[in-house]
């Protein structure tokens, strides 16, 4: 038993999520991510169960552990009530703690999530907010998305939004007291430390890649170079 495996096993999510896998493959059969990505949760569980530090480190540095959508469909179907999704979360946590996440394309996307998603929650109280959502970064929204961006006030009026104002209604201004409470939750649960670690290690990776912080953000947010999709669905 290696030190990396021991550290992984100290995570309660892995202790509760991996009891006695019988290698039936049900988790992979029902997994939405496995349908679209080069992803097989059964294989990941097998690697963890080998207790081989070298193989586990390869996982921690790979794109593979970042494909899971954490839907937990695997939990509902596993005949032994294992939770491969929880195993994945434990692997992701350790990947960040050890700084391995910057070694994979999907792992590096954690920087964009930490900066945008966590920034939105702490600054505005919303996961997605008009102040930080830019159409240019989301071409998948097509012409409808562009129209919405160009006619935001009209959209707000149509849906009855109370944008940036006190009182009830969609997109209302969240009270400073509530935002302070969110910050405290992040601090107490270790979320703040994790976000700062992701940002710090990402800045170092950007420097290693010869990119400015802004260039690195655009790279991880907008670009995909690896072969991530399941070839059977291409």
Q: What is the pLDDT of residues 3-37, one digit of tens each?
A: 999 999 999 999 888 888 899 999 999 999 999 99
Average pLDDT, the chain: 92
Prediction pTM value: 0.88
pLDDT of residue 224: 81
pLDDT of residue 233: 61
Q: Is the pLDDT of residue 169 over 90?
A: no
Average pLDDT over every residue of 102-125: 95
Q: What is d(CA 198, CA 191) in angstroms, rounded to the nearest whole number?
A: 11
Q: Which backbone phi and psi does 168 adopt, to 5 degrees?
A: -75, 170
Using CB atoms within 10 Å of the CB of residue 167, give its burial: 0 to 12 exposed, 13 to 18 middle, 19+ buried: exposed
pLDDT of residue 1: 61
Confidence of residue 234 (pLDDT cuts 50, 70, 90): low
DSSP string, 185-204: HHHHHTHHHHHHHHHHHHHH
189-226: pLDDT as tens digits? 999 999 999 999 999 999 999 999 999 999 998 888 87
Query: At 143, is the secondary structure helix, strand, or coil?
Result: helix
List, in order of start, the domains of the chain with CATH numbers. 3-102 (1.10.1060.10), 107-222 (no CATH)
Which is nearest to 149 in space by CA: 159, 160, 138? 138
pLDDT of residue 27: 95
Q: What is d(CA 202, CA 194) in angstroms, rounded to the nearest whole number?
A: 12
Average pLDDT over every residue of 126-151: 86
Residue 113 carries which DSSP code?
I
Angle at 41 between CA 218 and CA 227, to 5 degrees: 40
pLDDT of residue 133: 83
pLDDT of residue 232: 77
Q: What is d(CA 16, CA 101) in angstroms, rounded to the nearest whole number?
A: 24
């Amino acid at each position: 038993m290696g030190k990396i495996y021991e550290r992984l096993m100290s995570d309660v999510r892995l202790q509760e999520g991996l009891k006695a896998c019988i290698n039936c493959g049900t988790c992979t059969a029902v997994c939405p991510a496995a349908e679209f990505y080069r992803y097989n949760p059964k294989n990941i569980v097998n690697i963890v169960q080998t207790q081989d530090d070298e193989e586990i480190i390869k996982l921690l540095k790979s794109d593979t552990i970042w494909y899971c959508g954490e839907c937990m469909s695997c939990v509902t179907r596993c005949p032994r009530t294992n939770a491969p999704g929880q195993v994945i979360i434990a692997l992701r946590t350790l990947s960040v703690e050890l700084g391995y996440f910057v070694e994979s394309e999907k792992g590096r996307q954690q920087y964009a999530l930490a900066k945008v998603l966590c920034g939105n929650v702490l600054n505005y109280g919303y996961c997605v907010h008009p102040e930080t959502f830019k159409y240019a970064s989301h071409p998948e929204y097509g012409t409808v998305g562009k129209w919405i961006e160009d006619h935001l006030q009209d959209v707000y009026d149509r849906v009855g939004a109370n944008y940036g104002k006190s009182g009830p209604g969609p997109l209302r201004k969240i009270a400073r007291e509530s935002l302070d409470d969110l910050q405290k939750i992040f601090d107490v649960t270790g979320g703040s430390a994790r976000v700062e670690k992701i940002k710090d290690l990402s800045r170092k990776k950007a420097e290693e890649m010869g990119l400015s912080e802004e260039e690195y953000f655009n790279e991880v947010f907008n670009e995909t170079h690896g072969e991530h999709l399941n070839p059977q669905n291409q």
